[in-house]
Amino acid sequence: MPNAFRNIAALLGVIVAAACVGACGKISSTDPAENIVLTTQQLAMKNYAQNCSACHGANGVNGAARQLADANYLASVGREALINITTNGVSGGFCPGSGPASLAQWDAKQVADFVDGMLEAWGKNGVALSIPWSVKLAPAGNASNGQAVYAATCQSCHGAPNFKGVTGAGSVTDPNYLRLITDQGLRTAILFGRPERGMPGWSGPFPHQAADRKLSSQEISDVVAFLRSTASQKQ
């Protein structure tokens, strides 16, 4: 798939380069390997395919890590935080980042161009949530309140915390899983869901959000605190 994607991107690059001579202002970079001129968006998609798609999915969906091709998600996180994560990865998590300290070693301009290109490709008309995406801006969570929220909103798909059988969506109280995901990752999952896999988000007026029940910023913090508390319990 990355190869097919690359070929399509290259083909589009040729078409746009040919059609835009002297006419388009968006051409920003050449790709020495292919000797064609790419727009910011095309270059970002090429860099995405090479540096992010293995985990976040081809074309930004359906990877092991969350979908990035989601305009409301991108609007809620915002350009500044996207630049920070693309540079440094997720603190305490397994997103490697692509900045100077990573294997990709993009400089600040390459990171900013990448984020701008990604926003052009996937961020059009995104609506930001009215409650914060960042755990740093979220209220502290209360695990016992979160247990009740979990039972009411999560258990039907993910199973009771101590349930050992197979559930439709798999366990999110598995301590090994919880060791691999940060509190930010859990908050993001609850805010936006995994729409491409059938998990609704719980917080916004978006098409894939749960219609009958919205969670407040506090309730989301509470569920995260509850999930975290299950990781230290003997299973």
Write out the residues near ligand HEC by the rule CB under 6 A.
Answer: 51-52, 54-56, 65-66, 68, 77, 82, 85-86, 90, 93-96, 98, 153-154, 156-158, 169-170, 172, 181-182, 184-186, 188-190, 194, 197-200, 202, 223
**In the complex, what is the shortest distance from the CB of residue 33 to ligand HEC, in angstroms, rounded to a whole number?**
18
**In the complex, what is the shortest distance from the CB of residue 81 to ligand HEC, in angstroms, rounded to a whole number?**
8
| Alpha carbon 166 to its chain's center | 26
Residues β-bridged to residue 36: 31
Residue among 20 and 81 whose Cβ is closer to ligand HEC: 81
Task: Give, for 148, the enclosing helix (H) or strand (E).
Answer: helix 143-153
Residues 205 and 196: their CA atoms lie apart, in Å, by: 17
Residue among 94 and 163 whose Cβ is closer to ligand HEC: 94
Residue among 39 and 76 whose Cβ is closer to ligand HEC: 76
Angle at 78 between CA 194 and CA 228, to 5 degrees: 50
**In the complex, what is the shortest distance from the CB of residue 31 to ligand HEC, in angstroms, rounded to a whole number?**
17
* CB crowding 103-127: b at 16 or more within 10 Å, else e: ebebeeebbbbbbbbbbbbbbeebe
Question: What are the E-state strand segments in the chain?
Answer: 27-31, 36-39
Residue among 26 and 94 whose Cβ is closer to ligand HEC: 94
Residue among 13 and 123 whose Cβ is closer to ligand HEC: 123
**In the complex, what is the shortest distance from the CB of residue 143 to ligand HEC, in angstroms, rounded to a whole number?**
13
**In the complex, what is the shortest distance from the CB of residue 132 to ligand HEC, in angstroms, rounded to a whole number?**
12
Which among 30, 121, 129, 113 is positioned nearest to 73, based on CA atoms?
129
